[in-house]
Amino acid sequence: MPPLALTLDLDDTLWPVWPAIERAEAQLHAWLRRHAPATAGRFDTAGLRALRDEVARTHPHWAHDLSAIRLESLRRALALAGDDVGLAQPAFETFLSWRHRVEIYDDVVPALERLAARFPLVALTNGNADLQIIGLDRWFRGVVSARSFGVGKPHAAIFMEACRRAGAQPAQVLHVGDDPCLDVRGALDAGLQAAWMARPDIHAETDGAPDGTHHVVRHLGELADRLGA
């Protein structure tokens, strides 16, 4: 059936996330060189990322909260280097500020205008991006984040909450996302319709869509065309 509402992933769907993460990590390291030189000397950018990955592995109960993982990794880095662990919070805030300086894909704003004029839109993300800071919140009825909800995609519960916010039953909701497992398979298993956003800079090929995928598109404008928005 035609969807009555849409839920949209954010990272790598509305903007490429890794360029923003890499800039944020570089600015974080520059901040540490000024305020915690022992930590900056002991851990380069790759070392800080490895420590963050270690925290993620050893704290699986934080899988839904990327901010908690990053903050704890900074506390560990500061402690291991003998710097003030109280610097972890301002260090993290520096990272988060730069993490929000994303480069939105050119098709996104025109497509959101078209889609929001026809459908309720709800953002559904495992990340820690803030749509208000980025400047896209005007087109969304709400945001459901793994951090605030307590579990992330592909858990069915977070899809159900997004449908509730959108005001439609799961079968009436089309979820749009870049990850074939977390977004597409997760949405289908939860009873939603699913569109795979296979942007060329993220997915060179489009032959990996899970069985039952309703749409495979290269940009958001293409999806708006298909939905008659």
What DSSP string runs through 152-169? -TT-HHHHHHHHHHHTS-
Does position 145 have pLDDT exceeding 90, yes or no?
A: yes
Residue 189: partners with Cβ closer than 8 Å, 6 or more residues away? 154, 156
Q: Name the active-site residue from 9, 11, 178, 179.
A: 9
What does the pLDDT look like over 148-158, one tens digit per residue? Answer: 999 999 999 99
| Average pLDDT over the chain, rounded to an integer | 97
Average pLDDT of the residues in 162-167 = 97
Which class for 218: exposed (0-12), middle (13-18), buried (19 or more C-beta within 10 A)?
Answer: middle
Closest by alpha carbon to 158, among 139, 169, 145? 145
Using 50, 70 and 90 to split pLDDT, how confident is the model at 207?
A: confident
Asked about 9 being catalytic, the answer comes back as yes
Residue 204: partners with Cβ closer than 8 Å, 6 or more residues away? none
CA 11 to mean position of chain CA atoms = 4
Cα separation, 190 vs 168, in Å, equals: 14
Using 50, 70 and 90 to split pLDDT, how confident is the model at 111?
A: very high
Closest by alpha carbon to 176, among 131, 116, 121, 107? 121
What does the pLDDT look like over 42-72, one tens digit per residue? Answer: 999 999 999 999 999 999 999 999 999 999 9
Angle between helix 66-81 and 45-58 (nearest 10): 120
- Cα 71 to Cα 27, 89, 107, 131, 132: the distances in Å are 15, 7, 33, 21, 22
Quote the tokens at residue 107. 């098709």
Output the pLDDT for position 208: 84
- The verdict on pTM exceeding 0.75 is yes
